[in-house]
Amino acid sequence: MGKAASSVAGWGSGLLGIVIFSGSLPATRVAVADFSPVFLTSARAVIAALLGAALLMSLRQARPQPSDIRSLVVVSAGVVIGFPLLTALALQHITSAHSIVFIGLLPLATAIFGVMRGGERPKPMFWLFSCMGSATVVAFALSSGGSRSLEGDFLMIAAIILCGLGYAEGARLSRRLGGWQVISWALVLSAPIMLLLSLLTLPSSWEGVTAPAWLSLAYVSVFSMLVGFVFWYRGLALGGIAGVGQLQLLQPFFGLCLAGILLGEPIETTMIAATALIVIFVAFAKRFA
């Protein structure tokens, strides 16, 4: 595959991954109404790990090298445990619409870790526009008006940092192992501890669990935890971590629409304005990635 074709394939695959991820926070918001954050995080990981293990075995994939284990642990800590758990905790304090705007910090976090772990070197102007977009997100989070929770905001920021690290590390490893193989092995690696956590945090009663909560658990387990990463890691590996990572700025648009349509959450004018401004900054950042 030529460089241009590889870039196009990477951006296309990355975009599909973002579309899938856009439903994650609204679905998590629904699920934490009936499940505890720890149970939700561990259960979704166990379900996805079973699917990932089935894929690895059925397609006879070679086991990772011992030198890969450290990277897989980082991926697990970032995207299997850290981001799902912290966002589930945050969504007990803030709406999914509010949390979605924090996704605007992910491209910068992913790019920073892409430099640290992937050896990429974007141009100085890239950092300028990325920082401007991130500053817009922070300003929105700290702005007055509407329902705000400092605890929820800090949990989302921590989640973004861990997610950026997991994205960059997974993308680096995907160049050699393949995108779906990386997330599958990361899920399998974390499965024992996640299974134990899910058993320890089982709901005291299943009668109060609603159908929307079950559907949301299914979505975050199958699509958010596995299928989305198949396309996302492939996109980052083919098109570049810093460049394709900027597609995450489209996620707030998709996510806000889903939060409004499916959950009936109010979409504030400031949310739309902040998201639009962020995307403008990222469009300029892409030119220098």
The answer to whether 73 and 189 are in contact (CB under 8 A) is yes
pLDDT in tens, 209-223: 999 999 999 999 999
Q: Centre a 10 Å sphere on the Cβ of residue 47 and count the other Cβ atoms it contains.
A: 20
pLDDT > 70: what percent of the chain?
Answer: 91
Q: Residue range 246-274: average pLDDT?
A: 75
* Rounded CA separation 90/151 (Å): 7
Q: What is the pLDDT of residue 75?
A: 94
Q: What is the pLDDT of residue 121?
A: 73
Using DSSP's 3-state secondary structure scheme, residue 134 falls into: helix
* Rounded CA separation 202/211 (Å): 17
Spatial CB neighbours of 270, under 8 Å, sequence gap ≥ 6: 140, 143, 145, 146
pLDDT in tens, 94-124: 887 778 778 777 877 887 887 776 666 777 8
Alpha helices in the chain (DSSP H): 3-21, 24-31, 37-58, 69-75, 83-90, 96-101, 106-118, 124-142, 150-177, 179-200, 211-219, 228-239, 241-245, 251-263, 269-287
pLDDT > 90: what percent of the chain?
Answer: 35
pLDDT in tens, 185-239: 999 999 999 999 999 999 988 988 999 999 999 999 999 999 998 888 888 878 8
Measured torsion, CA atoms of residues 55, 80, 83, 120, in degrees rounded to the nearest 10: -80
Q: pLDDT at residue 14 above 50?
A: yes
Exposed/middle/buried for 214, CB within 10 Å: 0-12, 13-18, 19+? middle
pLDDT in tens, 140-155: 766 644 456 788 888 9
Q: Centre a 10 Å sphere on the Cβ of residue 135 and count the other Cβ atoms it contains.
A: 15
* Rounded CA separation 235/219 (Å): 21
Q: Taking all residues of the chain, what is their mean pLDDT, rounded to a whole number? A: 84
Q: How far is CA 86 from the centre of its chain?
A: 11
Spatial CB neighbours of 6, under 8 Å, sequence gap ≥ 6: 238, 239
The answer to whether 179 and 233 are in contact (CB under 8 A) is yes
* Rounded CA separation 223/217 (Å): 10
Q: pLDDT at residue 138 above 80?
A: no
The band of 3, judged by pLDDT with boundaries at 50, 70 and 90, is: low
